Amino acid sequence: MTDQLHEMILRVRETHGGETYMVTTHGCQMNEHDSEKIITLLEEMGYKKADREEDADLSVINTCSVRHSAEDKVIGHIGKLKHIKKKNKKLKVAVCGCMMQRKESRDALLETFDHVDMVFGTNNIYRLPQLILENDHKDATVVEIEDNYTNFDNRIYAGSASNSAYVNIIFGCNNFCTYCIVPYTRGREISRTSEDILEEIRGLVADGVKEVTLLGQNVNSYGKNLPEKTSFSALLRAVSEIEGIERIHFTTSHPKDMSDELIECFRDLPKLANYLHLPVQAGSNRVLRAMNRHYTREDYFTLVDKIRSVRPDIALSTDIMVGFPGETEEDFADTLDLVERVGFDNAFTFLYSRREGTKADRMEEQVPKSVKDERFQRLLNTVYTIQRKKYLDLVGSTQDVLFASRSKNDDSKMSGRTSGFKLVHVPYDEKYIGKIVPVRITGGNTFSLEGEILDEAK
């Protein structure tokens, strides 16, 4: 943290210390980690977490712009805050994140909502204290947007109160998939130095973290823009050597950049989780070309075979899009065939959503919603059938589970994840929170497992 940032934090603490905040996050793990940084800053400034949004003095909405439905959800949330603000005159509203990096969305918000006090982008989190101070002396909305990552280098260290933490390693994306807005909201790829990343992880270990998830729009591209000669596989090996780290995840990977050296890490690094998220998006070569994905279905099958040759029991998840412009019934059949042949443990499924500014938005042959909905249901039926079998196949086995918290839906239980990222519930026992515990799996369904603890925690 720079001296200037520290000075701004102290100035805000003098005027706002003791006030309450609420941070709401829409979107991916990158957004979740950005929110962690925002919370770190707010608490450094003396803010306390509110129990309810209605009681907050400052409400921060971290937005997502990947799909139109995500933006609609944000707009509804901001509209709700207008009514809350009428009752709580002290409330300040800040909107940030990917949606605000997009000029069209930002302009529409500023024109529609006069109750928003601050707007800032994904590259301006470190400026939040300054924006709060500026807003104290202005009636108009304070807006600050940077288009390029120039200030990500350890200005904000987001500590963790949990046993698991996210760590950004690369920002932005150079792939320009024809359906995706991310290169326009997150910018071009910029990697952090390995020294900075390893220093942050050592700090997290000192806070009690045992599991890290390395984040990026395409982690496989890590290091390409750095003067140091490095790669993502080299970074994984270095992280694995840090004492205290017991499990390493990463997301997300692009199949075109899944190198043999990276696959060998699954063979050589026991700390590397038994899980890989490898987005395929579609099973049709014609659709993959139209998406600008730079691989074929055959390439994807080859990758899966290589990965399973070094980790036969690895859990694989993916992203699949239904209804991309021009998708035919034959194209969709190829996607169903790929899903069945690979046998994913989990799949994040989406209806194609038009995004202004992307090439796909200008493509002809947009698929009717009724057709997309019908195909989507067939895809879900296929995915869930395979997923349920994968979960039930674990009944009777013993899995090492890292427990994070009480179950969200049942206070009598606690929840954790296997190395293969499967959710496990067992009877609550506080002494196991934050620890890796051997668990015998006794039952399960399509989305989670039940179990019983066998031994003392690691």
Q: How many CB atoms lie within 10 A of CB 140?
A: 9
Round to whole Å and give the CA distance between 23 and 56: 10
Place of tokens 């529409």: 108
Question: What's the half-sphere exposure (Cβ side, CA atoms, 13 Å) at 354?
Answer: 11
Q: Is 265 annotated as a binding residue?
A: no
Round to whole Å and give the CA distance between 229 and 90: 52
Residues 63/71, Cβ–Cβ less than 8 Å? yes
Question: Which tokens in the block code for residue 232?
Answer: 């993502």
| H-run or E-run covering 59 | strand 58-63
Q: Is 96 annotated as a binding residue?
A: no
Q: Which amino acid would we find at residue 63?
A: T
Round to whole Å and give the CA distance between 93 and 75: 13
| H-run or E-run covering 262 | helix 260-268
Distance of CA 24 to the CA centre of its chain: 14
Phi then psi dihedrals of residue 242, to 5 deg: -75, 120
Residues of the binding site for [4Fe-4S] cluster: 28, 64, 98, 173, 177, 180
Residues of the binding site: 28, 64, 98, 173, 177, 180
